[in-house]
Amino acid sequence: MESVTVCRFCGRTIDGAFIFCPWCGISRINGEPAFQEDSPVFQRLEELHEKGMSGRITKMEETLNELEKELIRFMEAPKKNEQYI
């Protein structure tokens, strides 16, 4: 059986071979985080996330605009029953 240990920072059980805690990212050796929050990797991930959200919002706006146009056409179309009255 492989060795397990407890993370000094978060207290969760981790594999003894791990250098960084998979739960909190703290190094078992020096107690420092695996990544800094201002890391270029995190900045790029944030940019990609924002771009994806922006794209989804734009697509939703376009869909809502199309639905609104369709609803207006539906509301303006003469009803079948009104034609014979």
Prediction pTM value: 0.38
C-alpha dihedral, 70 to 76 to 80 to 84, nearest 10°? -170
Please state the separation of Cα 71 from the chain's center in Å.
32
Tokens describing residue 62: 């376009």
pLDDT at 1 over 60: no
- Averaged over 65-79, what is the pLDDT? 89
- Averaged over 35-50, what is the pLDDT? 71
